[in-house]
């Protein structure tokens, strides 16, 4: 500050030491103030434009990306909404709102930065952190990390939602009921589909006619679901995006990194269980420079080729 005042004094050709300027005439003081405004204010503005102002943090995130529902305080939780683009590389693609929840470190900024908790699924949402961090002791000492979770695209309150709301009561008195008697959801199985559950279906895999019939019904269901008007999103210039093409683990990795940017984190750590191990692995692969620590609990094997995985899974089911 003293050297700055000396330079300012020299610029306006004051004679005498700086102390005389500080105690000088009213006119001199006005001149000094004018020079300070002329020299310092543009400097502050240029610093802001260069991005050298106070960085964003978990307590004070980038408002264009993240908004907390309530003012965050150290040691407490807060829910929030993260804004991301459907296509991370296309700023004109539709915006989506994803729900996040964070347990803030008692020390701010958190010494070890942010840590994502993902409990698996797919389907793990913001409740993962809340049900595991403190109850299971994963908040550690409560001071090292800002621990958070995210409801990924399409689930648990995030918009748009993949959830169907077409459930209904079937009519009474029918001798035979179809799937459409219970739901209008475009993504429900088509009428006549053989009974199908999580990891199998009630058909004879050696009967070609039964296999073809199942695949035809699955194709019909997939086409109807893909064309569902709810999944057709418009971009800034009217371009149509199909939401199904813009969901999945790798896009979740981009959304996680958007959260990192929103809270000004240089790096983040990930604790993942079950499918969460795939989330952690994919993020660390796509953003190695932004990854600090990764814990994989109950590792899910990678599936680089879906056809190879399907053949292997089918063979395993037959052996079982």
CA dist., res. 130 & res. 261, Å (int): 22
Q: What is the distance between the alpha carbons of residues 272 and 279, in angstroms, rounded to a whole number?
A: 7
Could you tell me how many residues make up the chain? 320
Task: Supply the pTM of this predicted model.
Answer: 0.75
pLDDT above 50 (res 114): yes
Cα distance between residue 284 and residue 196, in whole Å: 35
| For residues 295-317, average pLDDT | 78
Q: What is the pLDDT of residues 186-218, one digit of tens each?
A: 999 999 999 887 767 889 989 999 999 999 999
Mean pLDDT across 248-252: 93
Q: How far apart are CA 111 and CA 148, in angstroms?
A: 15
Given this model, what pLDDT does residue 104 score?
95
8 vs 38: CA distance, rounded Å: 11
CA dist 227 and 160 (Å) reads: 15
Q: What is the pLDDT of residue 295?
A: 93
Average pLDDT value for the chain: 82
DSSP-derived secondary structure letter, 154: B
Cβ–Cβ < 8 Å for 132, 138: yes
Question: What is the CA 122 to chain-centroid distance, rounded?
Answer: 14
Cβ neighbours of residue 30 closer than 8 Å, sequence gap 6 or more: none
Is the pLDDT assigned to residue 312 strictly greater than 50?
Answer: yes
pLDDT over 70 at 25, yes or no: no
Q: Dmax over Cα atoms in the chain, in whole Å?
A: 107
């Amino acid at each position: 500050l003293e050297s700055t005042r000396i330079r300012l004094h020299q610029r306006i050709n004051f004679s005498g030491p700086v102390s005389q300027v500080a105690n000088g005439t009213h006119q001199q003081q006005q001149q000094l103030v004018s020079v300070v405004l002329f020299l310092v204010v543009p400097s502050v503005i240029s610093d802001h434009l260069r991005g050298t102002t106070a960085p964003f943090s978990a307590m004070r995130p980038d408002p264009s990306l993240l908004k907390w529902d309530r003012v965050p305080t150290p040691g407490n939780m807060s829910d929030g909404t993260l804004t991301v683009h459907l296509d991370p590389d296309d700023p004109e693609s539709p915006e989506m709102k994803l729900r996040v929840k964070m347990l803030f470190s008692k020390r701010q900024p958190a010494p070890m930065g942010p840590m994502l908790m993902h409990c698996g699924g797919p389907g793990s949402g913001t409740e993962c952190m809340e049900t595991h961090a403190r109850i299971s002791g994963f908040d550690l000492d409560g001071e090292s990390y800002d621990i958070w979770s995210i409801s990924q695209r399409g689930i648990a309150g995030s918009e748009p939602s993949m959830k169907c709301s077409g459930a209904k009561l079937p009519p009474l008195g029918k001798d035979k009921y179809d799937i459409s008697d219970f739901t209008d959801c475009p993504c429900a199985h088509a009428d006549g589909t053989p009974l199908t559950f999580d990891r199998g279906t009630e058909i004879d895999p050696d009967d070609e006619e039964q296999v073809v019939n199942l695949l035809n019904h699955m194709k019909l269901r997939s086409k109807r679901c893909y064309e569902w008007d709810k999944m057709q999103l418009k971009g800034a210039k009217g371009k149509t995006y199909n939401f199904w093409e813009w969901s999945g683990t790798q896009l979740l990795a981009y959304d996680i990194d958007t959260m990192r940017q929103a809270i000004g984190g240089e790096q983040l750590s990930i604790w993942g269980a079950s499918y969460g191990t795939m989330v952690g692995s994919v993020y660390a692969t796509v953003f190695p420079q932004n990854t600090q620590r990764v814990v994989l609990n109950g590792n899910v094997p990678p599936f680089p080729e879906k056809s190879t995985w399907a053949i292997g899974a089918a063979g395993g089911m037959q052996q079982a």
